């Protein structure tokens, strides 16, 4: 599975998502322009010592991602989407796409892929969730649907 961040702006969010990717084996794709340097201390701090577990790809633009992964199914996460993330059918190689913190996924991308747009249900009047929280919610729903494939489902002290 893959998480794609289109033009992320806040290093702490990207670091948290990198940690999520490390814990789940999800690959992380960062689409330029980035609102920070990949060497940013806040980015590294948020990811703690998990960076060696994350496969990170940096792309010049979103078209490059689409061209590199033509056979993959893309899910576009937006507060504007017509259906809940839990209604989507996720597969092992799917791409979970998120937009930048201040604007979300660009309108032209949403319109071109409307049938693949999903949202996290919220109460009326709530604008959005934090990007790293949203990524975790959608990623873990996808992993749940895949029966947490390749993830340990019991704690280190619970095995016989």
Annotated binding site for S-adenosyl-L-methionine: 99, 120, 128
- Are the C-beta atoms of residues 130 and 13 closer than 8 Å to each other? yes
Q: What angle do CA 90, 92, 94 make, to 5 degrees?
A: 60
Residue numbers belonging to the annotated binding site: 99, 120, 128
Whole-number Å distance between alpha carbons of 142 and 148: 8
Q: Any alpha helices (H) in the chain, and if so which ranges?
A: 11-24, 41-47, 62-68, 107-112, 131-145
């Amino acid at each position: 599975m893959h998480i794609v961040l289109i033009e992320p702006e806040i290093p702490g969010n990207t670091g948290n998502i990198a940690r999520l990717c490390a814990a789940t084996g999800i690959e992380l794709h960062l689409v330029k322009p980035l609102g920070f340097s990949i060497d940013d201390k806040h980015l590294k701090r948020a990811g703690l010592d998990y960076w060696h577990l994350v496969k990170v790809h940096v792309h010049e633009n979103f078209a490059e991602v689409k061209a590199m992964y033509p056979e993959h199914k893309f899910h576009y996460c937006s507060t504007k989407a017509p259906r809940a993330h839990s209604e989507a059918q996720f597969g092992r190689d799917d791409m979970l796409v998120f937009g930048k913190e201040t604007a979300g996924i660009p309108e032209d991308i949403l319109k071109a892929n409307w049938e693949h747009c999903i949202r996290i249900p919220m109460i009326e009047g709530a604008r959005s969730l934090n990007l790293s929280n949203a990524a975790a919610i959608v990623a873990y729903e996808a992993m749940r649907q895949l029966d947490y494939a390749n993830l340990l489902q019991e704690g280190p002290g619970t095995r016989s």
